[in-house]
Amino acid sequence: MYKSILTFQVALSCVIPVAVASSFSPGATTQLTIQSTHHRQKLRNEEINNNNKHNNFSTYFCPLSPSTKYSSTNIKTAASATRTNTRLNMCQLLGMNCATPTDFVFSFSGFRQRGGLTDKHSDGWGCIFYEGRGVRAFHDSSAAAESPIADLISNYPIKTLNMLAHIRYATTGAVALENVHPFQREMWGIIFSFAHNGDVPKFGKDRMHPWIGDVRGEKTYNPVGDTDSEAVFCAILNALRAKFKTLPTMPVLYDAIAALCKEIVTDTCGSTEEDSRNPDDPPIFNMLLGVGQHVQFAYSWPGARPGSTCWNGLCYTVRKPPFATAKLSDMDYSVDFNAVTTESDCVAVIATTPLTNNEQWVEFERGELVLFDNGLPHSAIDDIARVEEKGHGLQSRVLQKLPLPKAAADFHTWYGGAKNSRAIDDVSSNFVI
């Protein structure tokens, strides 16, 4: 398991005395708050001054080709551009999925710097840790870089198999606690959680939120706040609740979520995702969806607004044996994971942009949905079926799941592996037809 994180020092506009075991001294915390507040205002002023400037993408962090591995040079350029130009103007995501209970002090320490210090995502932050069937949830409408609650998380190594975090740059909805991600809801006796980066115009607060999915049902879930993100989350849950009357297996759930994501990024007036999107207002949809203590889905439909220097996508890295030293790109902080891990550890870290400058990060392809379990990415159906077989599928005390023999028929029928009527009869009880 990951032990307490090592000594570090911030190398930014302010200098914090070296602290042991990831803890700030009281004086250092005060110094960080003063400097980060000043820096936050500076970022806001820069944004106002640059509002009508159309800068060249090459000056900033630019999209790489699908499935490209980020090189150290690209990462360093991206980190440097972020600090210099500070034009990343949408929210950012952080997810972690693990084979053994692991704390995320290292990744969060770098991630929170982007919440008002090295970047301008200062309109709130939140994180959710799964622990058994429950969750620990922390939300604050203050900037993560100066939040006392974020200080607590940075000094409290909570161990988990699955977590989501988000730092907000408000584009839809006021700076208020009800608009802070990740959002969570109970469905089927399971806590679902959701965080989003991007912009989905057809779920804007001034529009009627459309129904998605091929089975109509009741709108059981409704947004509390004003964000398009929460509206999309509720739409996904409503669609899944209407579609399934027994607990779906992981391959079936994966396919259903993939179909919903495709519909979300497709304009309702068109027929295909290529010819129907509104070219003047295209969706940008990158999401993390936690479905219990083991599994996390991540989907990316990346993009950038006209005139913006911000490319919004998703990437991930996997830390597994043999472990090496990782260095954060937002602060002078590194950890030799070989010294603090065991052979059974495996951790996947998902982020909007790379958090480290010396690891390989893989960019999601456009429209790609990845299931993370046991610290590894899965998108092949056979791999996802094995997630179910080893007991990491949905677990509920209130909704029946098909027995494994029927679940196997369910899987093969859904993906065309079995066409006979008996298999269809077996799977039909799992869906509302």
Q: Which residues are catalytic?
A: 91
What span, in angstroms and rounded, lies between the C-alpha atoms of 35 and 47? 19
Give the angle 110-351-114 at the CA atoms, nearest 5°. Answer: 35
Residue 111, C-beta contacts closer than 8 angstroms, at least 6 positions apart: 92, 94, 144, 165, 167, 330, 351, 355
Q: Pinpoint the alpha helices (H) of 59-209.
A: 72-85, 105-111, 148-155
Q: For residues 191 and 134, is the Cβ–Cβ distance under 8 A?
A: yes
Residue 340 to residue 348: CA distance in whole angstroms? 16
Token couple for 316: 């991930």
Q: Within 10 Å of residue 275's Cβ, how many Cβ atoms?
A: 9
Amino acid type, 328: L
Instruction: Extract the runs of DSSP E, i.e. beta strands, from 118-259.
Output: 125-131, 134-140, 159-167, 183-187, 190-199
3-class secondary-structure state, position 378: strand
Rg (CA), the chain: 21
Please state, as a whole number, how many other Cβ atoms lie within 10 Å of the Cβ of residue 411.
Answer: 24
| Whether 244 contacts 430, CB under 8 Å | yes
* Sign of CA pseudo-dihedral 408, 413, 414, 416: positive
Please spell the DSSP secondary structure of 188-206, one letter per residue. TTEEEEEEEEEE-GGG-TT
CA distance 119 to 355: 13
Contacts of residue 284, Cβ cutoff 8 Å, sequence gap at least 6: 90, 197, 198, 199, 200, 301, 302, 303, 304, 305, 312
Cβ neighbourhood burial of 163 (10 Å; 0-12, 13-18, 19+): buried
- Residue 307, Ramachandran bin (φ over 0: left; ψ between -120 and 50: alpha; else beta): left
